[in-house]
Amino acid sequence: MKPRFFMQWRQPAVAAAVSQEAAGSAPPASALAPAKGHKPVHQGLSDRALAWLFVGPTIVLLLAFNIFPLLWTIYLSFTNFRANKPNAEISWVGISNYQRVLGDEAIWLNMRTTAHFLCWSIVLELLLGFALALLLNRRFRTHSFWSTAILLPMMLAPAVVGTFWKYFFEPQYGIFNYIVSFFGGPEKFTMLGDVNLSPWAIVLVDTWMWTPYVMLILLAGLRSIPPYLYEAAEIDRASEWTKFWRITVPMVMPFIILALLFRSIENFKMFDLVDQLTNGGPGSVTELASIHLKREAFEKWRTGYASALAIILFVAIYGMSLVTVRFLDKVKQR
C-alpha cells in the first residue's frame, strides 16, 4: 500500500499505472513513458527542480571542497607562494616548481620508499586476505564470530593504530620483543629505530590493519561464485587444486583487482599511520611521498613547491587507477 501523498504527487497516468500494478495487472508501457506534448501537472515541484534540489547541494559542496581546492592548488603550483608569508606578493614562476620537484633526488628516494611499502603491503594483504577469505568461506560453527573478530583492526583509526604499535614495538617494555624472544628470536632489538627493520615494521602494521578489508572484498567474491560450477567440476572428477585454479581464481579475479585498486590508492597516500609510527625515520628511510609533502607544505611552508608535488602525486595515483580499472574491465569481459 503506497502512502496517499505519493499517489497524489505522481502524474495521473503514472499513478494509474501504479494502481494497476498494485492490483496485479501489468501497466501498459505507454503509461510509464511521458506522453508527447503532455505538460506534466504537479502540485509541487517539477522533476527538473526536484532533481536540482537533490543534486544541487552536492554539486555546491563538490565545487567548494573538491574542485575549487584542486584548481587553486594547480594555480599555486605555478607560483612562489608561501603560506607563512601571507603579505608577500605572489609571483608566477611557470613550470619551475615542477622542474624542481622532478629534479629533486629526495623525491625519488621517497617514491622508492613508497613503492617498496606499496608493493610489499599489497602482496601480503592479498595473500593473507585470500587465505582468510577461503577459510571463512567454509561455514564452520564459529565463523561469524571469527569474521567479526578479524575485522576489528580495520575499524580503528590509523593514527590510533600507529600509536598503539609504537608502544608495541618499544624495545624496553613493548610486547613485540617479548613475543619474538619467546619464540627464540633476539632478546632486544629496535624495530622502529633500525634502518633495516623500520620499513618492515610499517609493512607489518599496515598488513595487520588492512588484511581484513581485502578479506572482506574477496569473501564477497567467493560467495558470488555459483555453486553449480563446483558441482559440474566434481562430476568431472576435478581435483581440489584444479577447482581452485580453474574456477575460484578466475571468478574472484575481478575482486582481487578491485582490492588491489583500493589498497594501492590508499597506500600511495598513506600518511597518518606512518606519521605516528616512525614520522619518516630513522633518518629518511620511511619517509613516504605523503610525509614529504606534509613537511614541505606545512613545516617548510614552501606552498607553491608542495602544490606542484601534490599535483604530481595526484596524476600518479590517477594514472595508476586508470590502468587498474582498464585491466579490471578486460578481466570482466573475459
Partner 1 sequence: MSKLKSTLWRTLAGAALAATALGAQAQEKSLTLCWAAWDPANALVELSKDFTAKTGIQMKYEFVPWPNFAQRMLNELNSKGKLCDLLIGDSQWIGGAAQEGHYVKLNDFFDKNGIKMSDFMPATVTGYSEWPKKTPNYWALPAMGDAVAFTYRKDWFARPELRAEFKQKYGRDLEAPKTWDEFKQVGQFFQNRTIDGKKVYGAALYTERGSEGITMGVTNALYAYGFEYSNPAKPYDMKGFVNSAGAAKGLKLYKELYDTVTPPGHSNAYMTENLDAYKSGQVAMQMNFIAFFPGISKDPQVGGEKTGFFAIPKGDKQFAQLGGQGISVVKYSDKQPMALEYLKWFAQQSVQKKWWDAGGFTCNQAILNAPGFDKSTSYAKVFLDSMKMVKDFWAEPTYAQLLLAMQNRVHDYVVAGKGTPQAALDGMVKDWTEVFKEDGKLK
What residues line the site for partner 1 (CB under 8 A)? 83-87, 169-172, 188-190, 192-193, 195, 278-285, 295, 298-302
In angstroms, how far is the first alpha carbon of the chain from the final one? 44
CB 43 within 8 A of CB 49: no
Distance of alpha carbon 105 from alpha carbon 217, whole angstroms:
38
Backbone angles phi, psi at 27, to 5 degrees: -75, 150
Distance of alpha carbon 114 from alpha carbon 268, whole angstroms:
7
Distance of alpha carbon 13 from alpha carbon 2, whole angstroms:
16
Which residue, chain included where needed, has cell 605523503?
Answer: 290
CB 190 within 8 A of CB 246: no
Q: How many of the other CB atoms lie within 10 Å of CB of 199? A: 17
CB 290 within 8 A of CB 270: yes
Least Cβ distance, residue 71 to partner 1 (angstroms): 21
Least Cβ distance, residue 232 to partner 1 (angstroms): 57
Least Cβ distance, residue 162 to partner 1 (angstroms): 13
Residue closer to partner 1 by CB (options 202, 217) is 202
* The three three-digit cell numbers of residue 284, written as one number: 629518511
Distance of alpha carbon 280 from alpha carbon 160, whole angstroms:
17
Q: List beta partners, residue 198.
A: none
Residue closer to partner 1 by CB (options 14, 170) is 170
Residue closer to partner 1 by CB (options 192, 311) is 192
Distance of alpha carbon 251 from alpha carbon 248, whole angstroms:
5
Least Cβ distance, residue 171 to partner 1 (angstroms): 4
Q: Which helix (H) or strand (E) holds 128?
A: helix 105-137
Residue closer to partner 1 by CB (options 264, 278) is 278
Residue closer to partner 1 by CB (options 164, 301) is 301
Residue closer to partner 1 by CB (options 206, 296) is 296
Residue closer to partner 1 by CB (options 97, 267) is 97
Least Cβ distance, residue 83 to partner 1 (angstroms): 6
Least Cβ distance, residue 148 to partner 1 (angstroms): 34
Determine the residue type at 142: T
Distance of alpha carbon 180 from alpha carbon 188, whole angstroms:
9
Least Cβ distance, residue 63 to partner 1 (angstroms): 23
Least Cβ distance, residue 317 to partner 1 (angstroms): 25
Residue closer to partner 1 by CB (options 264, 276) is 276
